[in-house]
Structure 1
């Protein structure tokens, strides 16, 4: 049995150059080299070259364009009449059915509500740009260089271009699975390198200013407006949960007492996250107290509802927070506090990650708290722990003979 962690056997003609993988072979005495994103792709291409050689197939003496055998060339010569617009329509119809099924299941089981509709809306937005760029084009007539030109013509970040690339590739993969097309030209477009910058986060002074603004709103509200005062008090707890758990906005405002909050173990359970995986977050003391205060707020709201059954602002439905969207009050609070360029995502995830890093937490701890799928995502907060690195490097100091100070005249 092969030992765990053993490197794959070397394949003659396949080698790594920087972050890319290459395969090299000869065609009629001419040296041909082709670059790929992964070793697997390079090996697969070289295997196909060797197989075509054995079968007497014609191999192009250039790395440009796809490597096609006789049957693939024949299928390609018989262009499909399927328009990319129509193919996107079929794919979207399938996704809409899946999203509606997911939403119905959540509604029936009173379960956690995820961002399925938001994912679908994002797909539609990307497809709108794709359909505009390739309007009236046959799906199998679009070449890789055209896709690359489209992506780079968006004028967006590398991460955004990769999301468009993934979206379009999913459409072609869907077509290949159903034997509608034989090729996926998107696979020949290299993925763009994403560089995560230093995140914007909420410092303690900014947090104090936002909290002070909310507290002033509460104090300015007449005592007889009890519901309004309670809902304003809730905003302070929203800030606490966001900044001390690093939850995404959608997760936070979908929390339910019975399903997601475990007071005895002091845990918050998220059945589904952006990465489609469950995630559990320990409660800090601040979060624990904020949740207790939320229960007290909702108990008062329940009393007020009984006093006036016609009230419509207190539909709790087992949720931890009474609102679903915080943009209105958060934008006003930032304006009153004189704070600019701070998103809720910065206040929540970036603040939690940055404060953990500044306190000396390692990347694995940050990954566990924020639920990152890879350490690379957590590494962007490491710039905040340089003091800890400097302190640790003091261990490298040593005694022994030191240079004598220069003599002064």
Structure 2
């Protein structure tokens, strides 16, 4: 008999290739499932594709992370940093068998990170990076299981107001920077404020990227080059500042800039120390009447959604709310007698109904 009742279910025991062929045995929870499995094995044999039982995948989470890094992470700009972070997350989970990880395990990791004081935004990035490991290996055919991190929804985070420098702040900052012996920090700050460049893009700018009154930023966050016109005075200053070939600003500038911000009495939210220059450019661009599509191109955002964070600063933003809102007769000056008469009329109307 090829199917028999056993203690923990129904056991299929057959030799689809004949009595001298390979034996296939498997226990299933019900007789119906056992019969379906038997038919499947016999069917596979009939079309020349003998059934092979899958071996248990004994790879651990770190093994998958290493595989991801070898195939994909090594090509990323921040691949080594992310690889290190992923391994740290695997250690927090106890480096379990990858096949044993469930969405509940992913949720526990998230809760553990939150309780340790990690911000929700960072936790969301952790989940996204772990999810990306499984997704990449699934696409490459290196993982045929499910993605346990794909079923965990990211935490909802309230949008934060992006800080920017006022004209008074900019004047105070440049007053301090002009007194500094580090001329690089002054020019980097100026360059970021007039182009919306990230600090790193300006800090590592090469002299060859200054051409025809424009600056071209390469090695950007999204990998796309951006070319932006410069005020002539700044352009000429940059040309005469450093070598014709190589890095334009060879000295470290972040710490002097940070010290200048403090000395100028400017208080910023955590994480916006140098990025405030990019926010300042974008904010003043919109407040001065610039359009959001042009701003997207200047900042190099891949999606308009990122740029729309600055749209509310436009002087015309949602101005139609005034134009098309219902008109209320606030200009009519009612006297006490007219108001009382109106109340009487309303009362009479109600009484008549």
Counterpart-to-counterpart distance in 2, 1:267 and 1:359? 22
> Do 2:184 and 2:253's aligned partners in 1 also have CA atoms closer than 8 Å?
no
Residue 199 of structure 1 and its aligned partner are, at CA, apart by 0.1
The question of 1:341 aligning with 2:257 is answered: no
Q: Match of 2:61?
A: 84
Q: Could you give the per-residue CA deviations for residues 337-365 of structure 1, whole angstroms, max 9, x where no partner exists?
A: 22232634433211111111211223212
Counterpart-to-counterpart distance in 1, 2:135 and 2:166? 45
Any idea what SS the aligned residue of 1:154 has?
A: helix
Q: Match of 1:280?
A: 227
Q: Match of 2:312?
A: 383
The question of 1:407 aligning with 2:335 is answered: yes
> Do 2:185 and 2:254's aligned partners in 1 also have CA atoms closer than 8 Å?
no
Residues 186-205 of structure 1 aligned to structure 2 (within 5 Å) = 186-205=149-168
1:193–1:394 distance in 2 versus 1, CA, 3 Å = closer
The question of 1:162 aligning with 2:115 is answered: no
Any idea what SS the aligned residue of 1:197 has?
A: coil
RMSD: 3.1
* Equivalent residue for 1:234, pick from 184, 187, 191: 184
Residues 93-112 of structure 1 aligned to structure 2 (within 5 Å) = 93-94=70-71, 97-98=74-75
Counterpart-to-counterpart distance in 2, 1:147 and 1:317? 49
Q: Match of 1:208?
A: 171
Counterpart-to-counterpart distance in 1, 2:293 and 2:73? 37
The question of 1:256 aligning with 2:215 is answered: no
Counterpart-to-counterpart distance in 1, 2:282 and 2:296? 9
> Do 1:206 and 1:339's aligned partners in 2 also have CA atoms closer than 8 Å?
yes
Q: Match of 2:283?
A: 354
Counterpart-to-counterpart distance in 2, 1:322 and 1:207? 24
Any idea what SS the aligned residue of 1:280 has?
A: strand
* Equivalent residue for 2:241, pick from 265, 285, 297: 297
Counterpart-to-counterpart distance in 1, 2:164 and 2:305? 18
The question of 1:267 aligning with 2:214 is answered: yes
Q: Match of 2:250?
A: 322
Counterpart-to-counterpart distance in 1, 2:215 and 2:228? 5
TM-score, structure 2 length as denominator? 0.69
Higher alpha-carbon Rg = 2
TM-score, structure 1 length as denominator? 0.60
Residue 237 of structure 1 and its aligned partner are, at CA, apart by 1.8
Residue 240 of structure 1 and its aligned partner are, at CA, apart by 1.2
Counterpart-to-counterpart distance in 2, 1:281 and 1:248? 13
Counterpart-to-counterpart distance in 2, 1:347 and 1:164? 25
Any idea what SS the aligned residue of 1:187 has?
A: coil
Counterpart-to-counterpart distance in 1, 2:324 and 2:163? 33
Number of equivalences:
281
* Equivalent residue for 2:142, pick from 179, 183, 187: 179
Counterpart-to-counterpart distance in 2, 1:189 and 1:400? 48
Residue 393 of structure 1 and its aligned partner are, at CA, apart by 5.6
Counterpart-to-counterpart distance in 1, 2:162 and 2:90? 33
The 10-residue stretch of structure 1 (239-248 or 121-130) with the greater mean CA deviation from structure 2: 121-130
Residue 405 of structure 1 and its aligned partner are, at CA, apart by 1.2
1:297–1:257 distance in 2 versus 1, CA, 3 Å = closer
1:216–1:407 distance in 2 versus 1, CA, 3 Å = same
Any idea what SS the aligned residue of 1:388 has?
A: coil
Q: Could you give the per-residue CA deviations for residues 350-382 of structure 1, whole angstroms, max 9, x where no partner exists?
A: 111111121122321221221111121111112
> Do 1:253 and 1:321's aligned partners in 2 also have CA atoms closer than 8 Å?
yes
- Segments of structure 1 that go 5 or more residues without pairing to the other structure are 1-55, 58-73, 100-115, 218-228, 300-315
Residue 252 of structure 1 and its aligned partner are, at CA, apart by 1.2
The question of 1:150 aligning with 2:109 is answered: yes
1:318–1:82 distance in 2 versus 1, CA, 3 Å = same
